[in-house]
Amino acid sequence: MRERNADDRKTGAKLRTQIRAVIFDLDGVLCHTDEYHYQAWRKLAQRIGLPFDRKINSRLRGISRMDSLNIILGEKAGCYTAEEKRQLAEEKNQIYRKMLRQMTPQDLSREVKETLNALRAKGIKQAVGSSSRNTGFILERLGLADFFDAVADGTEITHSKPDPEVFLLAAKKLEVPPSQALVVEDAAAGIKAARAGGFHSAAVSEEARSAGADYFLEKISDVLYIL
Ligand code: BG6
Ligand code: MG
């Protein structure tokens, strides 16, 4: 964990008392489903003969399913009707859900589990804030269906990240103002959303870090140093 600058270090103690809640992104933060998204999109892109690689995939992090499809279709997006796009998005989701069905509580890493439990022991409120419409299903697969104090996901929002809507909804459900909540994200779009909403932010990837996160976490358990 690296604090952003010396001033942050000086105010570290103050921050610790200010932050009462953590809002975790799901895919790529609490679990490795970001890799399943990549594999499912790659399969779809190959079938319809479009280029797809990890660089394109990184632009999809935090973005809704349909917005992701439009990025993959690129200039060809105009060649498809709304119904054809809906079917392509559904095809990708079916490939993805097949992978999700293989998940078990063993897919929750020990480090994440211990971090969540340690935050709970400190009395910190915890929520999930994810653009995914599969959030409930994934939390169930991981054995976390009843763990969080609040869940805000892609089924409840109109605008996906970088819009702050999902995090504002999570904070509202937690009854904690953004200024007292920390968002943990792997996506640049997620850090932008957190900043736009007035949250503290922590990045777990270089891309998220470069979007101006307040903190960089080398590993999830580093969040315990902030709080
Ligand atoms: C986000 C992922 O968490 O959820 C994106 O980072 C994904 O890559 C988005 O497109 C929507 O997910 P789903 O499960 O509703 O297709
Ligand atoms: Mg993510």
User: Residue 66's domain is classified under what CATH number?
Assistant: 1.10.150.240
Same domain, yes or no: 187 and 130? yes
Q: Give yes or no for residue 10 having a pLDDT over 70.
A: no
Residue finishing a domain among 100, 134, 150: 100
Give the pLDDT mean for 174-200: 98
Give the pLDDT mean for 83-109: 98
Q: Give yes or no for residue 170 having a pLDDT over 50.
A: yes
Q: Which tens digits make up the pLDDT trace of 134-151?
A: 999 999 999 999 999 999
Same domain, yes or no: 62 and 158? no
What is Dmax (Cα atoms) for the chain? 55
Angle at 29 between CA 223 and CA 23, to 5 degrees: 60
Q: Which tens digits make up the pLDDT trace of 209-218?
A: 999 999 999 9
Which pLDDT value is given to residue 12?
A: 52
- Concatenated DSSP letters of 42-98: HHHHHHHT----HHHHHTTTT--HHHHHHHHHGGGGGGS-HHHHHHHHHHHHHHHHH
Which residues form the domain of 24? 2-32+105-226
Which pLDDT value is given to residue 17?
A: 60
What is the number of domains present in the chain? 2
**Residue 99, helix vs strand vs coil:** helix
Which pLDDT value is given to residue 39?
A: 98
Same domain, yes or no: 89 and 136? no
Same domain, yes or no: 26 and 88? no
Distance between CA atoms of 187 and 28, rounded to whole angstroms? 8
Distance between CA atoms of 93 and 112, rounded to whole angstroms? 26
Identify residues whose C-beta is under 5 A from ligand 2, the ion. Answer: 25, 27-28, 186-187
Q: Show which residues are catalytic.
A: 25, 27
Q: Give yes or no for residue 157 having a pLDDT over 50.
A: yes
What are the strands of the beta sheet with 181-185, ordered from one edge?
2-3, 215-216, 200-203, 181-185, 21-24, 125-129, 150-152
Q: Which tens digits make up the pLDDT trace of 28-53?
A: 999 999 999 999 999 999 999 999 99
Q: Based on DSSP, count helices (H) and strands (E) in the chain, helices before strands.
A: 12, 7
Which pLDDT value is given to residue 1?
A: 59
Distance between CA atoms of 30 and 2, rounded to whole angstroms? 20
Same domain, yes or no: 135 and 183? yes
Residue finishing a domain among 67, 100, 133: 100
Same domain, yes or no: 159 and 194? yes
Give the pLDDT mean for 59-64: 95
Which pLDDT value is given to residue 15?
A: 60
Give the pLDDT mean for 181-193: 98
Residue finishing a domain among 56, 80, 100: 100
C-beta 201 within 6 A of ligand 1: no
Which pLDDT value is given to residue 14?
A: 53
CATH code of the domain containing 116: 3.40.50.1000
Count CB-CB contacts under 10 A for residue 122. Answer: 10
C-beta 68 within 6 A of ligand 1: yes
Nearest to 139 by CA among 35, 21, 20, 24: 24
Mean pLDDT (the chain) is 94
pTM for this one? 0.94
Asked if 61 and 190 count as a contact pair (C-beta separation under 8 A), the reply is yes
**Could you tell which of 97, 132, 133, 165 is best to mutate to test the pocket of ligand 1, judged by most ligand atoms within 8 Å of the CB?**
132
User: Ligand 2 centre from 10 Cα, in Å?
Assistant: 30
Q: Give yes or no for residue 2 having a pLDDT over 60.
A: no
